[in-house]
A = this chain, B = another copy of it.
Amino acid sequence: MREVAIIGAGMIKFGKFPQYAAAKMGGDAGLMALEQAGLKPTQIQATFLGNIGNPPNLAQRVNGEIGMTGIPAFNHENACASSSAAFRQAFLSVANEVHDYALAVGVENMTSHIEMGTTTSGPLVLPHGANIEADNGMLMPGVFALLGSRHMAEFGTTPEQFARVAEKNHRHSAQNPYAHYQKVFTLEEILESRMVCDPLTLLQCCPIGDGAAAVVVTSAENAKKHTTKPVFVAASVLTSGQYKESAEGPARIETCVRAANEAYETADIGPEDLDVVELHDCFSIHELVAYEDLGLCPKGEGGRFIDEGLSGYGGEVVVNPSGGLLCKGHPIGATGVAQLVEVVWHLQGVCGERQVPDAKAGLTHNGGGFGPGNAPGAMSITIVKS
């Protein structure tokens, strides 16, 4: 396999845009990525798109918005990891010389399709008839509240420590013009917001919204022709697992531990080398547990890690400078590529007020599925370097 580089990254502002068609959202992000790469639409040889609930053949529709047609176009669904799977295939298509230039896109308009009531995002976030656990309240907040409760019992972690994750990410988001929310909250405000599922309060849960992001990938060799700031893909891992596999041993997500180990070995980059991480903080609890699963701190020390400010600016690694899913937002299919765009922009040094100083290595972490009824999940880890 040849080395792969990202030469363009684009993203629209996240928010609630029920009238902004998914194809147009993806097209706008794609055009921004192409512009950064200095490529014409006709130079892209294949499109790989992640989405779970907008119209069929969305990759082809996005291509139409950009002004591309006649090329292979793949649509991926892997729950919250949908566009991470799409990126993995874009990466492989270039690494294996199937294509020289590929576009990976993540897009989701959740507000329009929840209004229409016709698509798959509904079943993912709302109870439906096929699952007795979900019908009885075991939705995603419940899944992560249980994980957090277990972490508290095992390691003495406190509700304040989980809330502190949300405080940090809200603070970060205030500097990010692409974020759905850009508002600072105090620890007290977060703890006193409406209880959703103990110990998770409202401001510790990601919102429902809309967004899109895109990256252009090519070979490392080609990259030199297009940019002075290529970002190289050091590892791309996608795996899967079942909920119950995390039921033994300490509170953790087993697929994350496994995927991270494989990614670090492939990249020859360890957690101590990372400058910036975008991780899947669907709920504050998930971020704290992921510190440990990703090896940013030892198992059981996630609470200390956030207390000491080690995951913020001036700490050991800046986690979720974008504001994360909690504040930048989590339009399901958009998230994986949006995380990559954020990390790429930091490595390119173009992030303005939220720039992580001198960022040279970054990681994205994105899980999809994993929940009630032993629902199986996908887990994606990507490591990039400048």
Contact = CB atoms under 8 A, between A and B. Distances in A.
Contacts of A375: 57, 61
A368 B57 CA distance: 8
A238 interface: yes
A185 interface: no
B79 A57 contact: yes
Nearest to A68: B240
Interface in A68-98: 69-79, 85, 88-89, 92-93, 96, 98
Contacts of A258: 70
Contacts of A239: 70-72
Nearest to A78: B75
Given A78-B75, A96-B98, A376-B69, A123 B241 contact: no
Interface string A354-381: 0000000000000011000011111000
Interface residues of A, number: 57
Contacts of A339: none
B98 A77 contact: no
Given A70-B241, A98-B96, A119-B120, A377 B78 contact: no
A245 interface: yes
A118 interface: yes
A208 interface: no
B56 A123 contact: yes
A281 B8 CA distance: 41
Nearest to A112: B130
Contact of A57 (B57, B69, B70, B378): B378
Contact of A85 (B74, B88, B120): B74
Interface of A is mostly: mixed
Given A57-B369, A96-B92, A69 B120 contact: no
Contacts of A376: 57, 60-61, 63-64, 69, 73
Contact of A240 (B51, B72, B78, B378): B72
A245 B64 CA distance: 12
A238 B378 contact: no
Interface string A87-126: 0110011001010000000000000000011111011100
A321 to B, nearest CB: 28
A226 interface: no
Given A123-B118, A369-B56, A242 B69 contact: yes
A60, A78, A79, A124, most chain B CB atoms within 10 A: A60
Interface of A: 1, 21, 51-53, 55-57, 59-61, 63-64, 69-79, 85, 88-89, 92-93, 96, 98, 116-120, 122-124, 128-130, 238-242, 245, 255, 258, 368-369, 374-378
Q: Which 7 A-B pairs have the closest CB atoms?
A: A60-B376, A96-B96, A57-B369, A75-B77, A56-B79, A73-B240, A60-B240
22 contacts: A55-B123, A56-B79, A56-B123, A57-B79, A57-B368, A60-B240, A60-B376, A60-B377, A60-B378, A63-B240, A69-B241, A69-B376, A71-B239, A72-B238, A73-B378, A74-B238, A92-B96, A96-B96, A118-B122, A118-B123, A119-B119, A119-B120
